Amino acid sequence: MKPTRIAFAVVATLGLFASAQAQTVLKLGYATSKESHYGVGSTVFCDEIDKGTQGRYKCQQFPSAALGGEREMIEAVQLGTQDIVNTSTGPLGNFVPEVKIVDIPFLFRNYDHARKVMDGPIGQDLLKKLQTKGLVGLAWTENGFRHMTNNKHPIVHAEDARGLKMRTMENKVHMEGYKTFGILPTPMPFPELFTALQQGTVDGQENPIPVILASKFAQVQKHLSLTGHVYSPAVLILSPAVWDKLSESDRKVFVDAAKKASAAQRKKVNDDEANGIAQLRKDGMQVVEQVDGEIFRKAVAPAYANFAREFGADKIAAIQAVK
């Protein structure tokens, strides 16, 4: 081989090596299946950062809690052993206490109200607080309004929930609120839930329609009541170990990608809410659509005094006042 050809081959090889070196593969985990709302949002995020960085950053998705439960994944992102998590806020309050305010039962009127709060000054201020705890919040995504399922009987009034052993997230605000309904809250990591319902370790659980669908809870739960008792935001969190290495232009790509992911995830929540009830009925669940929401609100009222002391009555009122 002539010297010029050898030189060309070496340069080409080095170029390929540099190109391979320049590509970073990020681990992104979430608790539900790839077909779920989390999967839809995460896929859009991954596609957008791939496109926006010309392939320098790519994602490897780990759905169905392959990297652990939400709490474990948040911790891993904080430690830098996982790059990204798309998680509900349920366990996030254990890391960023201020975020727990959004978990108060019956705080949000509807999806329009909730999304305006999360995308507005209140939500964006909460997002910034993640950085003080070694987490980078890219954008609020969505889990949805939570509803109750169980294997005992229909829930129409708050007293119907009394005595039910209900799986909850490891979330003090949720648990305190649910106790006012007479529920026996049983915190449990999400990956253990299907088996616990199947074996009767717990009577029921509460989650948004997209989660109930994606997790196939109709196979192990008879009754669904559309209580809408808590709005559950979700959030795309990036490890500071990744964020600190990004250029300003790449940071913008990541944030913009997260916003597009949020829009896609919310659309999937809307679609599942619109079509999911019929599917769950078809799958054999008995659905109570008209729940006595006023009775539930009255039942939880005593807990609001504690929430006001913890978070500030003014902060709760500010969320309620958003139009």
The predicted-structure confidence for 17-41, as pLDDT tens digits, reads as follows: 444 447 999 999 999 999 999 999 9
Share above pLDDT 90 across residues of the chain, in percent, rounded to a whole number: 92
The model's pTM: 0.90
The predicted pLDDT at position 47 comes to 98
pLDDT confidence of residue 6? 52
- CATH class of the domain comprising 23-321: alpha beta
| DSSP secondary structure string for all residues of 207-267 | EEHHHHHHTTGGGT--EEEEEEEEEEEEEEEE-HHHHTTS-HHHHHHHHHHHHHHHHHHHH
- Model confidence pLDDT, tens digit, residues 172-212: 999 999 999 999 999 999 999 999 999 999 999 999 999 99
Give the position of tokens 């913008």. 252
E strand or H helix at 18, and its extent? helix 3-22
Count other Cβ atoms within 10 Å, centred on residue 90: 28
* Average pLDDT value over all residues in the chain: 93
For residues 216, 218, 221 and 224, what is the CA-based torsion angle, rounded to 10 degrees?
A: 120
